[in-house]
Chains A and B, each alone.
Chain A
Amino acid sequence: MENRWIPIGRMTDDKDVLRDVWFGRIPTCFTLYQDEITEREAEPYYLLLPRISYLMLVTDKVKKHFQKVMRQEDVTEIWFEYEGTPLKWHFPIGLLFDLHASNTALPWNITVHFKNFPEKDLLHCPSKDVIEAHFMACVKEADALKHKSQVINEMQKKDHKQLWMGLQNDKFDQFWAINRKLMEYPPEDSGFRYIPFRIYQVTTERPFIQKLFRPVATNGQLNTLGDLLKEVCPAAITPEDGEKKNQVMVHGIEPMLETPVQWLSEHMSYPDNFLHISIIPQPTD
């Protein structure tokens, strides 16, 4: 049978947000640091990086590419840097980009290093097992906040594996077949127990802000992104008649402050089930 008769009537469904979030890609240009010793000239390497993944999980090709032009003995642990800032591999890629490089021209220029691992800034990543452990730890922490760990504990080992494999192999369906369970809540409640979120600012020393925050206020109203910021990071909010100084960014967009945090948590969390929110200074043009 032919496929000519594709049904009409696609609405904007909330699930489309999940797809858009999952399939977000950042065009990236990897360049080898000038001081790295090479045998031949190192060509830059271009790649579409999944926003929701982790640097060390998706850069095998990059490593291979630059290894080719280097002496074997110089190939040590790879690390990445953007405009002088070492990039933390345990932050999702989209967060790194939003935090450090949003409002800059694309592609994103990342510098590749092998020497001088910045011990004080970065964690070592000897294998993908470390990333998996970190990822699963985040998922578990998020579920502890959302469901007192009830959902994650009821899952089987293979379900946990499926979450990880889904992320690793970029299998949206495989991942969400399990992850949807983590996004459910009892119908008599209006949302999760607490919203798993982390708020990042480049301007402070503190790595991120994380507090207990309920999706529904005591008066029964849904808490919004604005409510969240007001409570945990009031500096980020533009005063009533003041000039906008900051951008509040998730997945490269700025949701309105009226957006309910419960909805955000269900639809715009990273695969680790956290909302990673970046507060960045408003570009001055």
Chain B
Amino acid sequence: MAMPNSLLWAVDIFGRIYTLSTAGQYWELCKDSQLEFKRVSAVKQCCWGIACDHQVYAYIFSSDVPIRYQEETYENQRWNPVGGFCEKLMPSDRWQWSDVSGLKHQQLDSFTLPSPHWEWESDWYVDENIGGEPTEKGGWTYAMDFPATYAKDKKWNSCVRRRRWIRYRRYKSRDTWAKITSHDDPKQLPDPFNDISIGGWEITDEPMGRLSVWAVSLQGRVWYREDVCHHNPEGSSWSLIATPGEAVQISCGPYDLLWATLWEGQAIVREGIDRNNPQGISWTTVEPPSSENGILHVSVGVNVVWAVTKDRKVWFRRGVNSHNPCGTSWIEMVGEMMMVNVGLNDQVWGIGCEDRAVYFRQGVTPSELSGKTWKAIVSGRESDRSQTGSSTSLLSAGCFFSDDVREQMNLIVESDADISSDTKGPQIQPNLADTPLSGAAASVNGNNVGSQSPEASANLAVDPLDSSPEEASPASDNGDKAGLEKPKSSADQDPHPAELQWTNIDLKEAHKRPPLSASTFPETSSLSSLGMFSAGVEEQYDTDEHPLWAWVCGGGCLVDSHSSLKWFTLQSGLLSSVQSLSLSISPAQTAAWRKQIFQQLSERTKRELENFRHYEQAIEQSVWVKTGTLQWWRSWKPHKWTDVRVALEQFTGNDGMRDSILFIYYMYHEEKKYIHVFLNEVTILVEVLNDAKHSFALYTPERTKQRWPIRLAATTEQEMHDWLALLSMSCCESRRIQGPPSHQAIWSVTCKGDVFVSEPSPELEATPHVMPCDQMFWRQIGGHLRLIECNSHGIVWGIGYDHTAWVYTGGYGGGFIQGLASSADNIYMQSDVKCVYIYENQRWNPVTGYSNRGLPTDRYMWSDASGLQECTKVNTKPPSPQWSWVSDWYIDFNISGGTDREGWQYAADFPASYHGHKTMKDFVRRRRWARKCKIITNGPWLEVPPITLWDIAIIPSSAADKEESIALWAVSDKGDVLCRLGVTQQNPAGTSWLHVGTDQPFMSVSIGAFHQVWAVARDGSTFYRGSVSPKKPAGDCWYHIPSPPKQKLKQVSVGRTSVLAVDKNGNLWFRQGITPSYPQGSSWDHVSNNIRKVSVGPLDQVWVIADKVQGSHSLSCGTVCHRTGVQPLEPKGLSWDYGIGGGWEHITVRGNATEAPKAALHETSEEHSANPTDLEDGENGGKGNHSKATLMVNEGQEVDRNAVNC
């Protein structure tokens, strides 16, 4: 399973905070544990808590990407005839130092750090970038007067100028509990805090990482923390929110649910929470299930509310959703809990009333939100692992659920209840902490790694009871029973010098077990050196000393029905966290027994077969046929789906190789006819799933030219996958392709997210007689990706639609390719999330204003982006049956052009360009609704958490040394530029990110063979990174490169020496004038139009995804094209060769360093680029062929509907 690890947080009765990873099996003590806490509330990126000093603390996880905030101020100057531009401004002018509007005076030294948790990154400096274009040195921008539009050039009438100063501050208190300080007036400050809940991140994306932080003070008042977001993790101030009564506890869901409990036992529900008003508007009161037992505790998710009443009964609120946050009625659930907590995916945790264990609600799914049963989490604490007893002996001793332990829990329960209401607590708490249970046992036994006997562990179980006399009395009532269950332990019991006794037993028993653990794990030492577990430890659990919990929070814990958790069974170390090992090495693979089996089998084959190959086989090989009924997209007009009989004949050729023919039998004017395809001619099989048909397309070189594949459809998805799996296996077999792709492989992804790989033949780049790229054979690799990048050392990374980063594991197969055509190892579950969009369209009329009554000629009032298809909330389905909805429909505010507060965009008429505010000329408006859907598949990919990415680049080739680190750059989905450290062939996932500072968010990055790093910012400005080398992986500074005239670049690719870029209008540009001494080059040269993406390889070969490629049957969008005629003297190439498409989204040829067999390329690129005259020639050559260089376009023609579908 490749789901990212996330954490469940809990507080034990001593106020210590622990986390339990979804991939782990032990509770780990929070790193910074100087304080004792009473409450925590966690989300993915942070956790807030209330410590025993009643102050609020925030624990912000560290990340490779810093939290940095850009402060800016403007320096303004006016020209006068005497001194030229100077600080002297007119009295009516703005301040000499001001904000961007000029209205606010802000001098450089007026900026201070907001709290002790921040530090300055550097001093102030001038920004030399205006709208993606570099300014002159000094950064001044000029205008006629304030306020005005500024330009980078000084003109005769430029009377004023200004420049922007920027300085970054950085949040430093990460991975630690940082006290939230308030700058508010001390009189306004909240009284001590009693409860806290954070959530609300789904309400809006603006600003990034926004969170709702709610707190309740001891006096029962409710507070909202203003301005908590990624750049301001502490927020700015507390606002008092009036409540109808004294609040006790509060719970804030991921979206707009917010409930609190009142002292009198009712719940109050916040109404009117939305993106414009995250604090909500008003409270509504909800009565408890029964008047005698008020609500004690409440917890909310996206669509659920759970509550605990004073009698500890657990309740589920029926009918809760965004539109009805109060729900309809209470349902009583089984079990008695101290508290419950709703986490991500509406999963539920609770703390058992009796045993103080953390329980997980099993079986919570979107269709069954109340789940099925409570299941106890039995994980021990990390700190206990080095102690005492094997789990088997303990379980057989029965102490885990024995009554004596439970009695003690009840006692603690009572005392804890005291803590929350009055001041008796502190007396009891240290008392408990002093028992050997927590302190002495750990310290003494921590040194004894060896296993213990049942006697020793049983001893431990009862000792705490004896150590403090007033606690022993309830236990003694059950003394008989305990004695029966543990006859030995009670006999041996010696209450006082307990520590000594344990030590003795430890020493005695330590000799008993080692032989067994040694024989069971012959390779323990090597495994433990990989950091997995240490010898013998896997056996030890401290079940009797199981933690007693006070609070649990799953707000950051990602669990769903596919998760396999190791929390519920006491497992051996061997089975755990295999994935945490470096890739492609699982313990089973390295084990001696496995090697031995492989070796013996091959010896056996040699022994039993070598001298007897001339013997006759007992079973004759024969032709094998699979037949079936499919539908075929008829090749003559009118095109339609037609029932056909299909047969695949597999036969064994004389050379022992298998080959296959696919026959499709159809009726033509009542005459039986067939078409047949030799599978060794098939170049690709592509699934074309939509909600109506389970179909796939089959291409040959001829059909690629025509842009007209054979399309077949099955009645069920399973049937289609059976056919696809068989056909693709037969194709691979007939081409003798087996196993994982080579390091040279060319990878691509379709707009459906399917991943394909092709093995390049040497002729592919053999100028002038290249192999046409429509002959390339593509096979599918499981997984779902938006983008993929690789290099010639087998490092392959991908990014999903949800921006998750994935690294290739070295496997093959996955997805529908199951069983034998798929590797058994290295295939993991993969998921991806994307949005489906529909549009709500309205027209203005004088009577009712905007309404859903359009003109008869108008588009559908609910439609797709084009307006041509009717798409309502009800009839719109996920893209294919593989996808399932994971959210409800919501208004999407992140649409180009902007929206008003309700998400509307206005225009004069349909179709038009839309803007985010209403004007007099607007008569129509639309808004976009989005709904998230999720696919779960599998493939040879492992997630690289936690930073989500937008773009990746891997150095196309570098030293072949396996140990040497390989340069990998990336842009995060937030626009941060990152450099991955520790990427080697052994460890393709690398170790950590190095953040590379930029002054604006980026969108594309690429690195060439000699560490030339080029990158494009979101504003279209292009940068070259200076001084990047293996020793200095992040380089030193950015050089701003002017864009092509009037164009904004969006993507760049750097090969060996060539640099090519694509702009937002689909033009492909080649960077001229690059030399070793001037790596930035001199100018951009136009190469082609209609380009969506470019990939430049290690041979400087140029491949693109192009739009509007003409086929003999139709036009296709998203087509793989190869630039032909690329040579050292002709780096721009001459013309395009068209490959597979349409519907292709991305290609990377950066692994293909396979030179042509004749190796005619004796000139190195450096020689040529160092020679300016050569460059001139190259340029002329390029221009001479300009007409050919442009893609053929026929705007009028219908776009290929057979393609994968863009």
Q: Which residue of A lies closest to B396 (CB)?
A: A218
Interface string of A127-146 (1 = CB under 8 A from B): 00000000000000000000
- Alpha-carbon separation in the docked complex, A209 to B75 (Å): 91
Q: From residue A109, how far is it (CB to closest CB) to chain B in Å?
A: 13
User: Is the Cβ of A219 less than 8 Å from the Cβ of B729?
Assistant: no
Q: From residue A238, how far is it (CB to closest CB) to chain B in Å?
A: 13
For residue A169, which residues in chain B have a CB less than 8 angstroms away from its CB?
A: 619, 622, 624
User: Which A1-58 residues have a C-beta within 8 angstroms of B?
Assistant: 1-18, 20-21, 23-27, 46-50, 53, 58
User: Is the Cβ of A220 less than 8 Å from the Cβ of B570?
Assistant: yes
Q: From residue A175, how far is it (CB to closest CB) to chain B in Å?
A: 10
Among B608, B617, B743, B761, the most chain A Cβ lie within 10 Å of the Cβ of: B608
Q: From residue A31, how far is it (CB to closest CB) to chain B in Å?
A: 15
User: Is the Cβ of B520 less than 8 Å from the Cβ of A258?
Assistant: yes
- Alpha-carbon separation in the docked complex, A200 to B192 (Å): 75
User: Is the Cβ of A27 less than 8 Å from the Cβ of B612?
Assistant: yes
Whether A150 sits at the interface, judged by CB under 8 Å, is no
For residue B618, which residues in chain A have a CB less than 8 angstroms away from its CB?
A: 47-50, 53, 58-59, 61
Known: A171-B624, A180-B819, A219-B572. A25 touches B592 (CB 8 A): no
Whether B564 sits at the interface, judged by CB under 8 Å, is yes
Select the stretch in B276-284, B442-450, B730-738, B958-966 that faces chain A: B730-738
User: Is the Cβ of B619 less than 8 Å from the Cβ of A252?
Assistant: no
User: Is the Cβ of B575 less than 8 Å from the Cβ of A220?
Assistant: yes
Q: From residue A210, how far is it (CB to closest CB) to chain B in Å?
A: 23
User: Is the Cβ of A7 less than 8 Å from the Cβ of B604?
Assistant: no
For residue A171, which residues in chain B have a CB less than 8 angstroms away from its CB?
A: 624
- Alpha-carbon separation in the docked complex, A13 to B392 (Å): 35
Q: From residue A24, how far is it (CB to closest CB) to chain B in Å?
A: 7
Q: From residue B625, how far is it (CB to closest CB) to chain A in Å?
A: 11
For residue A255, which residues in chain B have a CB less than 8 angstroms away from its CB?
A: 593, 596-597, 600
Known: A2-B761, A256-B593. A7 touches B738 (CB 8 A): yes
For residue B574, which residues in chain A have a CB less than 8 angstroms away from its CB?
A: 221-222
- Alpha-carbon separation in the docked complex, A6 to B745 (Å): 11
Q: Which residue of B lies closest to A170 (CB)?
A: B619
For residue A188, which residues in chain B have a CB less than 8 angstroms away from its CB?
A: 564-565
Categorize the interface residue count of chain A: 35 or more
For residue B600, which residues in chain A have a CB less than 8 angstroms away from its CB?
A: 253-255
User: Is the Cβ of A7 less than 8 Å from the Cβ of B612?
Assistant: no
Q: From residue A241, how far is it (CB to closest CB) to chain B in Å?
A: 13
Q: Which of A3, A11, A50 contacts B736 (CB 8 A)?
A: A3
Q: Which residue of A lies closest to B621 (CB)?
A: A170
For residue B737, which residues in chain A have a CB less than 8 angstroms away from its CB?
A: 6-7
- Alpha-carbon separation in the docked complex, A25 to B592 (Å): 26
User: Is the Cβ of B598 less than 8 Å from the Cβ of A15?
Assistant: no
Among A7, A23, A188, A252, the most chain B Cβ lie within 10 Å of the Cβ of: A7
User: Is the Cβ of B741 less than 8 Å from the Cβ of A107?
Assistant: no
For residue B581, which residues in chain A have a CB less than 8 angstroms away from its CB?
A: none
Interface residue count for B (Cβ, 8 Å)? 72
User: Is the Cβ of A50 less than 8 Å from the Cβ of B608?
Assistant: no
Interface string of B600-642 (1 = CB under 8 A from A): 1111110111011001111101101000000000000000000
Q: Which of B575, B608, B760 contacts A25 (CB 8 A)?
A: B608
Whether A106 sits at the interface, judged by CB under 8 Å, is yes
User: Is the Cβ of B593 less than 8 Å from the Cβ of A259?
Assistant: yes
User: Is the Cβ of A27 less than 8 Å from the Cβ of B608?
Assistant: yes
Whether A242 sits at the interface, judged by CB under 8 Å, is no
User: Is the Cβ of A1 less than 8 Å from the Cβ of B777?
Assistant: yes
Q: Which of A1, A48, A172, A251 contacts B617 (CB 8 A)?
A: A48
Whether A205 sits at the interface, judged by CB under 8 Å, is no
User: Is the Cβ of A220 less than 8 Å from the Cβ of B592?
Assistant: no
- Alpha-carbon separation in the docked complex, A119 to B696 (Å): 57
User: Is the Cβ of A17 less than 8 Å from the Cβ of B570?
Assistant: no
- Alpha-carbon separation in the docked complex, A252 to B600 (Å): 9
Known: A13-B824, A187-B1, A219-B391. A259 touches B608 (CB 8 A): no
- Alpha-carbon separation in the docked complex, A107 to B613 (Å): 12
- Alpha-carbon separation in the docked complex, A13 to B823 (Å): 7
Q: From residue A183, how far is it (CB to closest CB) to chain B in Å?
A: 10
Whether A282 sits at the interface, judged by CB under 8 Å, is no
Whether A82 sits at the interface, judged by CB under 8 Å, is no
Whether A263 sits at the interface, judged by CB under 8 Å, is yes
Whether A83 sits at the interface, judged by CB under 8 Å, is no
For residue B897, which residues in chain A have a CB less than 8 angstroms away from its CB?
A: none
User: Is the Cβ of A219 less than 8 Å from the Cβ of B735?
Assistant: no
For residue B771, which residues in chain A have a CB less than 8 angstroms away from its CB?
A: 1
Known: A9-B742, A190-B575, A221-B572. A46 touches B759 (CB 8 A): no
User: Is the Cβ of B592 less than 8 Å from the Cβ of A256?
Assistant: yes
Known: A20-B601, A25-B609, A221-B520. A9 touches B736 (CB 8 A): no
- Alpha-carbon separation in the docked complex, A6 to B657 (Å): 14
- Alpha-carbon separation in the docked complex, A219 to B519 (Å): 16
User: Which A208-265 residues have a C-beta within 8 angstroms of B?
Assistant: 218-222, 224, 226, 251-256, 258-260, 263
User: Is the Cβ of A27 less than 8 Å from the Cβ of B597?
Assistant: no
For residue B741, which residues in chain A have a CB less than 8 angstroms away from its CB?
A: 7
Interface string of B776-806 (1 = CB under 8 A from A): 0100000000000000001000000000000
User: Is the Cβ of B825 less than 8 Å from the Cβ of A10?
Assistant: no
Q: From residue A273, how far is it (CB to closest CB) to chain B in Å?
A: 16
Whether A174 sits at the interface, judged by CB under 8 Å, is yes
- Alpha-carbon separation in the docked complex, A240 to B520 (Å): 14
For residue B395, which residues in chain A have a CB less than 8 angstroms away from its CB?
A: 218
Whether A285 sits at the interface, judged by CB under 8 Å, is no
Q: From residue B1139, how far is it (CB to closest CB) to chain A in Å?
A: 14
User: Which B1056-1086 residues have a C-beta within 8 angstroms of A?
Assistant: none
- Alpha-carbon separation in the docked complex, A13 to B762 (Å): 28
For residue A50, which residues in chain B have a CB less than 8 angstroms away from its CB?
A: 618-619
- Alpha-carbon separation in the docked complex, A244 to B591 (Å): 23
Q: From residue A19, how far is it (CB to closest CB) to chain B in Å?
A: 9
User: Is the Cβ of A1 less than 8 Å from the Cβ of B519?
Assistant: no
User: Is the Cβ of A263 less than 8 Å from the Cβ of B615?
Assistant: no
User: Is the Cβ of A1 less than 8 Å from the Cβ of B596?
Assistant: no
For residue B608, which residues in chain A have a CB less than 8 angstroms away from its CB?
A: 24-27, 106, 252
Q: Which residue of B lies closest to A223 (CB)?
A: B520
User: Is the Cβ of A258 less than 8 Å from the Cβ of B519?
Assistant: yes
Whether A202 sits at the interface, judged by CB under 8 Å, is no
User: Which A184-205 residues have a C-beta within 8 angstroms of B?
Assistant: 187-188, 190
Whether A121 sits at the interface, judged by CB under 8 Å, is no
Q: Which residue of A lies closest to B522 (CB)?
A: A258
Q: From residue B139, how far is it (CB to closest CB) to chain A in Å?
A: 52
Whether A176 sits at the interface, judged by CB under 8 Å, is yes
Q: Which residue of A lies closest to B761 (CB)?
A: A5
User: Which B644-697 residues have a C-beta within 8 angstroms of A?
Assistant: none
Known: A1-B775, A7-B742, A27-B608. A61 touches B616 (CB 8 A): yes
For residue B760, which residues in chain A have a CB less than 8 angstroms away from its CB?
A: 5
Whether B484 sits at the interface, judged by CB under 8 Å, is no
Q: From residue A162, how far is it (CB to closest CB) to chain B in Å?
A: 11
User: Is the Cβ of B740 less than 8 Å from the Cβ of A258?
Assistant: no
User: Is the Cβ of B609 less than 8 Å from the Cβ of A219?
Assistant: no
User: Is the Cβ of A3 less than 8 Å from the Cβ of B735?
Assistant: yes
Whether A173 sits at the interface, judged by CB under 8 Å, is yes
Whether B483 sits at the interface, judged by CB under 8 Å, is no
- Alpha-carbon separation in the docked complex, A10 to B615 (Å): 29
- Alpha-carbon separation in the docked complex, A253 to B602 (Å): 10
- Alpha-carbon separation in the docked complex, A174 to B819 (Å): 11
- Alpha-carbon separation in the docked complex, A18 to B820 (Å): 10
Q: Can you list 8 pairs linking A and B with CB atoms under 8 Å apart?
A: A11-B739, A24-B608, A46-B615, A180-B818, A221-B572, A224-B520, A253-B600, A255-B600
Q: 16 extra interchain contacts, Cβ-Cβ under 8 A, other than A46-B616, A219-B391? A: A3-B735, A9-B743, A11-B739, A15-B823, A17-B597, A17-B598, A25-B609, A58-B619, A106-B612, A173-B729, A173-B820, A180-B819, A187-B564, A218-B392, A254-B600, A256-B596
Q: Which 3 pairs from chain A and chain B are nearest by CB? A: A27-B612, A253-B600, A58-B618
A residues with CB within 8 A of B = 1-18, 20-21, 23-27, 46-50, 53, 58-59, 61, 106-107, 168-174, 176-177, 180, 187-188, 190, 218-222, 224, 226, 251-256, 258-260, 263, 268
